[in-house]
Each structure stands twice: as C-alpha cells, then as structure tokens.
A = this chain, B = another copy of it.
Amino acid sequence: MTPKIARFLREQQPATPCLILDVDRVEDNFRALRRTLPLARIYYAVKANPAPQILERLVGLSSFFDAASFEEVAACLAAGASPDAISFGNTIKKVSAIRQAHERGVTLFAFDSIEELEKLAKHAPGASVYCRILVENEGADWPLSRKFGTTVENAKSLMLRAGQLGLDPYGLSFHVGSQQTTTRAYEVAIAKVAMLFTDLTNAGVNLRMMNLGGGFPVRYRDDVPDIDRFGDAIMTAMVEHFGNNLPEMFIEPGRFVVGDAGLVSAEVVLVCRREPNDPVRWVYLDIGRFGGLAETEGEAIRYRIVTEHDGGKTGPVAIAGPTCDGADILYEKSNYRLPMALTCGDRVELLSTGAYVTTYASQRFNGFAPLAEYYL
C-alpha cells in the first residue's frame, strides 16, 4: 500500500468494492524494468490494465504497447501513443481488427498459424510480423501453453512463407506464462527460440527481433524472485546464444508494471461457520471471482489480504464472493487464515490487485455493478 493510497482510503472512505491505484508506482515499476533490462524495448501489455491514466503515464515514459484487440490499439492511440509504438500481439484477430489497426498505422503483428499469416498478408500488406513459438510454461501460476504458439519446425516454414507473401519476417516470440516465478523458464525458452533464430538467419531470412513476452511476477501472498534476477538470467542467456550480435529485444510486461500499484478495498458481508463447531469460518466479501478476481480460479493467484484486526489471533478461513454462484469461491484449499475478530461490515484490502482485475469484472452478475476505479 503506497502512502498516497493509504491517505485516500483514510480520507475518502470510498464505497466498496473499488480499485485504488497509484500511478506513480506504475512509473516506478516501469523504470525498474528499464534499468534491469536496458537493451529491451518495453511493450506494456495493455490488457493488464487499460486505464487511460496508466496509458498516458506510460506514453510520457516513451513506453511501447502490446495490444490484444483493435479496441486496445484505439485506447493506446487515444492516450497519445504513436502507431509505431504499438504491437498487435494477439495471434487471433478478426479481419476487421487487422484492417482497422493497419489503417490507423500499426505495422507490427503477431501470428502463429498459416491461416493468420494469410489474413495479415491480405489485410495488412507489407506489415512486419513475428511468429509465436510454443514453449514450456512450467513455473507459471497462470499458464498459457495450449492455446497459443506453434512448433519450431512449423514456425520455420511460416517465417519463410511470410517473406513470399510480401510481409516483413521481423522476429520470433514466446511466452513463458503469466506470473512466472522461475528464471529458468526464460533460459530454456531463449535457448529453444535462439536456435530457430540462427537457423532462419542462415536460411537468408532477415530476422531482427526476439520478443521475450511477459510473465514477470508480482509478490502476492508468497515471495517471488527480484526482477533483477530475471534481467540477469535473460541477458546471460541472450549473450550465451547471440554473443555481442544481439537482436532487438522486446518484452511485454503487464502484471509487473501495474500489479502492485493497486489494491482492492472490499467489505466483509458475512462471517459464519457452516456448522457451529467447524474450525473453518466462511468469510464472504463484496467482491469475488465474477466481480474482478477471476485469477483466483483454481486458487491460482493468491492475493495478500490485510484487515484492521491484523496482529490479533487468527484462524482458518474459506473466502468467497457475494453472488449466489457456487463457483464464486476465492480460496478454500490455500490455507488462508484471518483474524478471529473479523466481522460483518469490516473493511479489508486485497493487495497487489492492480493487474487483471478491472477488465475481468462482469458487467452485472447477480445485479452487482463492476467495482469502481480510482487512479491517484
């Protein structure tokens, strides 16, 4: 919790549930990443939090942007980003989205299939393209592997084909999975993709770029390695494979940039036991999986929760959202403990919820409005 957020909470006592985010912290995180990987171009993953206040601050820091849809491209442009600074990173794009982005000046697109490549050749002629390679997601709390990426072998023929279709075969990308807690995932992926890079270069393809994706972790309930550890591991691996003839390096952080800049302030709606002598209390909050905390699915992301009773005696709890949906349970198996004094009406804060919360919120499930948002 930053001092600015603490003051806002104290002075404004905003209605819950709400997200409060300190944009200065976004800038700090961006600068930290730039310091640790000075050779990498940072494409902020807009989907992590597309608030105009964040995009505008990042434009001011000369950030680049990774967009998942034409709507996100438009949001970046509206925040003052140049089309040259935008990569359309979703490998699955509507024809209309490709065409609109191309018309607005975007020239960099991701793909991972021949079908998408042909769509790009037709609707964004001459564009620079990069192919996404499937890599292991071991160590990631929110893995991506099955849905995206292709094999090294297939990527090779696709990149050769890109040139024949009049596109610029610009680079290769991978993604080690979101909230990746091991540096080894990057090392293994870089080794794999660097081999293909060399292979394609030897085949005469004018490759210039390695997109290392995102995945850099945020400290939630459990500790994660420092960002410098990731920077070191990545640079060591890159130098090992490319020597001093390094390609352009792109990274696509989202969670790392905004995650710990925000918190969700919520209200305890009910504390009860399912049976009188059950040691586990059920704590129901006014925000749940369908109010924005979608990443608690499978208890994947385990947020830290602070209360006004911290320091007192604690006991085991299950934590759930306010809807009538049986799936709206945040934590039942992750051994959460909360103060015994916690009671209905208390305020609690879920820390580091600046990423992947506001946009996931359902528009009105069970009638509940999406959480309010404050950017300080």
Q: Is A367 an interface residue (CB 8 A)?
A: yes
* CB-based nearest B residue for A148: B326
Q: Is A207 an interface residue (CB 8 A)?
A: no
Q: Classify chain A: how many residues form its interface, as a range.
A: 35 or more
Q: A270-B115, A344-B119 are in contact. Are A327 and B142 (CB under 8 A)?
A: yes
Docked CA distance A146–B374 (Å): 34
Please name 26 pairs of A and B residues whose Cβ atoms are closer than 8 Å in the assembled complex, sorted by A. Answer: A50-B364, A50-B367, A67-B367, A68-B323, A68-B367, A70-B367, A71-B367, A71-B368, A72-B366, A72-B367, A90-B324, A93-B269, A94-B267, A95-B344, A95-B345, A113-B272, A113-B273, A115-B272, A116-B270, A119-B344, A146-B326, A147-B320, A359-B363, A360-B362, A363-B363, A363-B370
| Mask of A113-124 contacts with B, CB within 8 angstroms, 1/0 | 111100100000
Residues of A with Cβ closer than 8 Å to B? 46-47, 50, 67-72, 75, 89-90, 92-95, 112-116, 119, 134, 137, 142-151, 153-154, 177-178, 267, 269-276, 282, 284, 286, 290, 294, 297, 318, 320, 322-329, 332, 344-345, 358-370
Residues of B within 8 A of A147 (CB): 282, 320, 326, 328-329
Q: Taking the nearest CB of chain B, how far is it from the CB of A283, in angstroms? A: 10
Q: Taking the nearest CB of chain B, how far is it from the CB of A153, in angstroms? A: 8
Which 4 A-B pairs give the minimum distances between C-beta atoms?
A144-B326, A71-B367, A113-B272, A69-B367
Residues of B within 8 A of A358 (CB): 363
Docked CA distance A325–B68 (Å): 10
* CB-based nearest B residue for A270: B92
Q: A92-B269, A94-B269, A146-B326 are in contact. Are A359 and B359 (CB under 8 A)?
A: no
Q: Taking the nearest CB of chain B, how far is it from the CB of A195, in angstroms? A: 18
Residues of B within 8 A of A94 (CB): 267, 269, 286, 322
Docked CA distance A207–B112 (Å): 63
Residues of B within 8 A of A47 (CB): 323-324, 365-367
- Contact B368 A69, beta carbon cutoff 8 Å: yes
Residues of B within 8 A of A271 (CB): 115
Question: Which of B145, B276, B326 is A326 in contact with, Cβ under 8 Å?
Answer: B145
